[in-house]
């Protein structure tokens, strides 16, 4: 069992609920600004006033919160993909080979076109899911579609950006970090396989 990490989060936990302990943050690929730790409950008593919802409603509350998470949390990747695409287009215009910008080569321009297609498709699916939440609908499939599209698009576009930048893309910096941050998006909040299961179930399969 891991020892609890020191810091304000652990101190807050001890004050908020005696018996609640938080372990040391895990080392993981990407998402360095989002620490992840084990949570230990040792005879932890939570006052009824701090309970979320009624007794026995945990599953429905969890599903509702996951719909929000799968929609809103992935919005950050839309912005990151937009930035990476902009930088990649700029590089394709500035970098020259054989007396012309590399963006003139079909192998490069088609990769960039695919990056744009993934970005805009994922963006629209995420907007649709957010629109549904704002209207008060409980559309699990919309959130699953958005989460699946954004996470898979981020990884694919990260690989394309690195390929277009060549050796520069493999060095420590913006593009390799973007890819490292994108890979966990296919895992957290439900893996890509779970999203496909949710979509299939919503389709009656």
Q: Does residue 43 carry a catalytic annotation?
A: no
DSSP labels for 4-65? BPPSHHHHHHHHHSTTEEEBPPPP-SS-TTS----EEESS----GGG--SSTT-HHHHHHHH
Contact assessment for residue 191 and residue 171, using Cβ atoms and an 8 Å cutoff: no
Among residues 69, 120, 152, 174, the one annotated as catalytic is 69
- Here the tokens at position 117 are 């297609």
Q: How far apart are CA 205 and CA 203, in angstroms?
A: 6
- CA dihedral defined by 161, 157, 117, 97, rounded to 10 degrees? 20
Contact of 177 with 53, CB cutoff 8 Å: no
- Greatest Cα pair distance, the chain, in angstroms, is 72
Task: Report the alpha-carbon distance of residue 201 to residue 19 in Å, rounded.
Answer: 39
Tokens of 167: 């050796």
Q: What is the CA radius of gyration of the chain?
A: 21
d(CA 126, CA 132): 10
Active site members: 69
């Amino acid at each position: 069992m891991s020892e609890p990490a020191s810091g304000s989060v652990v101190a807050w936990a001890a004050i908020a609920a005696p018996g609640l302990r938080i372990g040391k943050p895990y080392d993981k690929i990407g998402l360095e600004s989002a620490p992840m730790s084990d949570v230990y409950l040792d005879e932890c008593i939570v006052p009824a006033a701090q309970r979320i919802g009624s007794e026995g409603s945990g599953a429905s509350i969890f599903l509702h919160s996951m719909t929000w998470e799968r929609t809103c949390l992935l919005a950050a990747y839309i912005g990151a993909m937009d930035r990476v695409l902009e930088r990649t287009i700029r590089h394709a215009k500035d970098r020259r080979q054989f007396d012309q910008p590399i963006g003139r080569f079909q192998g490069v321009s088609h990769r960039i076109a695919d990056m744009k297609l993934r970005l805009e498709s994922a963006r629209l699916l995420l907007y649709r899911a957010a629109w549904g939440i704002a209207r008060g609908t409980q559309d699990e499939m919309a959130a699953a579609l958005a989460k699946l599209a954004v996470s898979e698009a981020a990884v694919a576009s990260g690989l394309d950006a690195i390929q277009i930048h060549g050796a520069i893309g493999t060095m420590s910096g913006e593009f390799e970090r973007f890819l490292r941050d994108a890979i966990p998006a296919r895992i957290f909040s439900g893996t890509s396989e779970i999203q496909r299961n949710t979509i299939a179930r919503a389709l009656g399969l």
